Structure 1
Amino acid sequence: MSLNDLVVAIQGVLADKILIVVLVGAGLWFTFNLGFIQVRGFGEGWKRTFGGLFKKSDKAGKEGMSSFQALATAIAAQVGTGNLAGAATAIAMGGPGAIFWMWVSAFLGMATIYAEALMAQKYKQVGDDGTVTGGPVYYIRAAFTGKFGKILAATFAVLIIFALGFMGNAVQSNSIGDAFGTAFGINPWIIGVIIAAISLFVFVGGISRIASLTEKIVPIMAAFYIVGALIVIICNGNMIPKAFHDIFVGAFNPQAIGGGVLGWTVSRALARGVGRGLFSNEAGMGSTPHAHAVAKVDHPVEQGFVAMMGVFIDTFVVLTLTALVILTSGMVGQTDPLTGAAFTGTALTQAGFASVFGKFGEVFIAICMFFFAFSTIIGWYFFGEANIKYLFGSKAVKVYAILVAVCIVAGSAVKVDLIWNMADCFNSAMVIPNIIGLFALSKVVKEVHKDYFNNFKPKQMKKK
């Protein structure tokens, strides 16, 4: 067995078995333990998110970001190339019913990410120079104060630096290079150098430049994609009822819509839907707490409300629109006339947009890919940077920024399966120390949660 085969085998066990149980279990635990906070707190989260969209944000600095800027940075990381390929892959392998299970996983994930945001806020650190930082390494150390905590936190830090900062950003760069090569015939190396240069400019500007960019680019990219997707869906409007029929029926009786031809089963629909949904919205993975930790809020729960909206936007808006584009276009099971292979992944999404936009569908996806992947590069860099500081101190940040830029250039045109598969494997592995830390702090999560509703909120209401 080659090293690549071993990595793929480990990833298969992690993603298809262990993590589904761990992340769904965490979602169920926090959902019931916090009294279905994703329902009770949805209105507050909506108000805080979209209220922040239309008012001037506080300028980000060493002391942190505004609540909306933190959410924008989190969404920048969550809404990546997986939103173009994730729903398509789930549908191709699990049938339309996989989308239903993606919704279920996102609903549960909203409770998990609420808990992550609370702990990231509670245990954030302020350095001697006034710089705010935070993330799972700090609440893991709070949960386990001895040697075990140090090892667990360091393990998480190393995994996320490689999974997102280095390998993950190479993957994102490769996606942009491929898309622009297909749409415009531009050499991927050129795209890689341009992306690396722009990224490095953002990196060296620190937290203020990252926050300023994400709060501008995220609403633009979301609006651009949503409008394009709605155009396709409306043009195929007569297929909308069938699309929803296939999603709900396919979740429990795939043969009723697929006839067994594509091998869809309830177990495959559930596994692919839950798996892709969890990895798309990143709830429980320990990535987005780095952004939520630096938000300037009066109480941790306030950022918990906002964090839930990131999962909602990622899955219930962007991924759902992608799924409807694919299903209403009738491209599921269709083959590429050039290769004869069935459409899957990004190619399936691209085919769905091409059903209305024609050749412009490739251009549209290339533009979306740029926005999604570039914003993810910025978000993932920021998450990795927090862990570089934890392990090596602030002096190592410049070296880290340069290494990430090198990975972006190399990844734009060189795809090595081992590196790509290791990125997925490390991405999966970092969930485990994060969830262990969260479960260990369940009592603290509940205390912070109750403090808001029993003490902080009543005081705020009296002031009004």
Structure 2
Amino acid sequence: MKGLNDIVSLVNNFLTSYILVVALVLGGIWFSFNLKFIQVRGFKEGMKRTFGGLFNKKEAAGADGMSSFQALATAIAAQVGTGNIAGAATAIATGGAGAIFWMWVAAFLGMGTIYAEAIMAQKYKQVGVDGEVTGGPVYYIKAAFKGELGKVMAAVFAVLIVFALGFMGNGVQSNSIADAFYTAFGVPQFVMGAFVAVIALFVFVGGIKRIAQVAELVVPFMAALYIVGSLIVIIAHGNRFLYALQSIFVGAFNPQAVVGGAIGATVKLAVTKGIARGLFSNEAGMGSTPHAHAVAKVNHPVEQGFVAMVGVFIDTFVVLNMTAFVILTSLDLSKVVDEATGQTITGAKLTQAAYSTVFGKGGDIFIAICLFFFAFSTIIGWYFFGQANIKYLFGPKAVKIYAGIVAVCIFLGSLAKVEIVWNLADCFNSFMVVPNIIALFALTNTIKQVHRDYFDNFKKKQK
């Protein structure tokens, strides 16, 4: 296992240090400028469409898709997962407080990328042979590249996302749940893994309707719970808030100047860990959330593009920031070490330690409960994304087999070591970016045409 992890780490470091950073940053800059920073200009409209549909139950999920809010809830369910609790903590522990700054940069640029992803997913969505609306990168990849090249790239992406999210990714989520519940309650990891696998399978067999209903119910509740709990801790350590904010900006460019910061942090570590965890958290540019946005019932693709941007904002600038400021205001990272190994505590354990400064043992319990909701909702979302690609590759009949395999991966993931699981997930996530970003670049003119059509034609007709 150690030998395998060394190889995976080597590949992962190359991907995250070069391919991932370059692809995401260039993609974000490219679409931000080409769309005239739509993440700023369209933010108000996105908030209006998002929260205006919060209590709209008129368009429930069905064979013809989901309501716009249900699609966003499914996307956020996938985005707001262990990356916001364990991933943010890991980024801070290894890259220092400055890693959070680079997560912000990745998210801001990613809002432009995910806007492009969402409108292309909407434009090229289809009705499958089973009568259900489906969509995602495989369809706009084929639109970008005609003939065999498009088919091969689409198939490669489909295989990558099934392994990255459906199998490996859901193992990561299950692992975090099991680890947190073992720390908080002493529940054996295999017991928690089996429990999560069973209830996940129950949701899977309910199809798109049950997935949408679960996401719509769980996402607002879990976000509110985590935000309230986090604010209590931040306010309790309010005298350190300005220091935490300063350490993020200083640490982004000069990590060693941050007193009590992560040991050995460098600018390169801050950037790579921030960008990598930023991707794992908000998923912009990865090609995952377009599967949810594709099935939204909207009158124009751009309407869902606005909503998709809000998903990234909520994930990073709201939920992830809660974790970051809780850790940075309550802990001295240079002193938070594992007594057994002498190494800096990382992952969910670091976040639990931060909450425990106010809640005591209740901090472990609070994070375990939040992690359960965050990670379980992500499992549901990632299953849905993988399912769309299983249908594309093998047809609807393969879905039941896929559901069973995912359930097994959820159980096995709860038993795996955190380091190897995180590294494998990062590798597959990085590989997924490549065909997705290449297709989006190739579709730039189409993206701009759909974008302009909304403002020049559709929106004027609505007045």
Per-residue deviation at 1:414?
4.1
After TM superposition, the score normalised by the length of structure 1 is 0.96
Aligned-pair CA distance for 1:206: 0.5
The aligned residue for residue 77 of structure 1 is 78
Q: Helix, strand or coil for the counterpart of 1:53?
A: coil
Structure 2 CA distance for aligned equivalents of residues 247 and 379 of structure 1: 31
Report the counterpart of residue 282 of structure 2 in structure 1: 281
Q: Does 1:178 align with 2:179?
A: yes
1:92, 1:333 within 8 Å by CA — same for their partners in 2? no
> What is aligned with 1:377?
379
The residue type paired with residue 225 of structure 1 is Y
Q: Which residue of 1 aligns with 2:248?
A: 247
Check the 8 A contact 1:329/1:355 in 2, yes or no.
Answer: yes
Q: Residue type of the partner of 2:30? A: W
State which drifts further: 406-415 or 291-300. Answer: 406-415
Q: Could you tell me which residue of structure 1 aligns to residue 53 of structure 2? A: 52
Cα 1:137–1:321 shift into 2, 3 Å:
same
Counterparts of 1:268 and 1:67, CA distance in 2 = 38
- Of the structure 1 ranges 214-223 and 275-284, higher mean CA displacement relative to structure 2 is found in 275-284
Cα offset, 1:97, TM superposition: 1.9
Q: How does 1:269-308 map to 2 (within 5 A)?
A: 269-308=270-309
Q: Deviations over 1:12-41 (max 9, x none)?
A: 111121110111000000000000000000
1:270 is displaced (CA, Å) by: 2.5
Partner of 2:331: 330
Does residue 431 (structure 1) correspond to residue 433 (structure 2)? The answer is yes
How far apart, CA to CA, are the structure 1 residues paired with 2:409 and 2:446?
A: 39
SS at match of 2:215: helix
Matches within 5 A, 1:27-426: 27-258=28-259, 262-336=263-337, 338-339=339-340, 340-415=342-417, 421-426=423-428
Amino acid at match of 2:56: K
1:259 offset after TM fit, Å? 8.3
Change (3 A) 1:254 1:416: closer
- Corresponding position of 1:445: 447
- 1:307 and 1:186 map into 2 onto residues whose CA distance is 37
DSSP 3-state at the match of 2:113: helix
The verdict on how the C-alpha distance between 1:174 and 1:252 changes in structure 2, with shifts beyond 3 A counting, is closer
Q: Which residue identity does 2:431 align to in structure 1?
A: A
Distance 1:416 1:31 in 2: 35
| The 10-residue stretch of structure 1 (394-403 or 55-64) with the greater mean CA deviation from structure 2 | 55-64
Give, in whole Å, the separation in 2 of the partners of 1:234 and 1:416: 31
Task: Confirm or deny: 8 A CA contact 1:243 1:327 kept in the other structure.
Answer: yes
Q: Distance in 1 between matches of 2:227 and 2:262?
A: 32
| 1:419 positional shift | 6.0
Distance 2:249 2:188 in 1: 43
Structure 1 residues 341 and 300: alpha-carbon distance in aligned structure 2, compared to 1, 3 A threshold: same
SS at match of 2:53: helix
Normalised to the residue count of structure 2, the TM-score between the two structures is: 0.96
Shift of 1:322: 0.6
1:121 Cα offset (Å) = 0.3
Q: CA deviation at 1:292?
A: 0.3
* Local SS of the residue matching 2:275: helix
Instruction: Please state how far the C-alpha of 1:81 moved relative to its aligned partner.
Output: 0.7
Partner of 1:455: 457
Aligned length: 461
How far does residue 169 in structure 1 lie from its aligned partner after superposition? 1.1
Cα deviation code 1:166-215 (max 9, x no counterpart):
12112211211111111111122222222111111111111000000000
Counterpart Cα distance in 1 of 2:248 and 2:219: 28
Q: Is the 8 A contact 1:57 1:68 kept in 2?
A: no
* Change beyond 3 A, Cα 1:381–1:259: closer
Equivalents in 2 of 1:250, 1:428: separation in Å? Answer: 25
The answer to whether the Cα contact below 8 Å between 2:178 and 2:192 also exists between their aligned partners in 1 is: yes
User: Residue 422 of structure 1 aligns to a residue in which SS?
Assistant: helix
Q: 1:263 to 1:170 in 2, by over 3 A?
A: closer
How far is 1:427 from its partner? Answer: 1.8
For residue 283 of structure 1, report the CA deviation from its aligned partner. Answer: 0.3
Query: Gaps (5+ residues) in structure 2?
Result: none
| Contact 1:331 1:351 survives alignment (8 Å) | no
Post-superposition shift, 1:91? 1.7
Q: CA RMSD in A?
A: 1.8
Aligned partners of 2:177 and 2:414: how far apart in 1?
A: 7
Structure 1: distance between partners of 2:338 and 2:114: 42
Q: How does 1:3-14 map to 2 (within 5 A)?
A: 3-14=4-15
Deviates more, 1:184-193 or 1:449-458: 184-193
Aligned counterparts of 2:359 and 2:251: Cα–Cα separation in 1: 28
Q: What SS is found at the alignment partner of 1:333?
A: helix
Mapped to 2, the partners of 1:57 and 1:353 lie a distance apart of 39
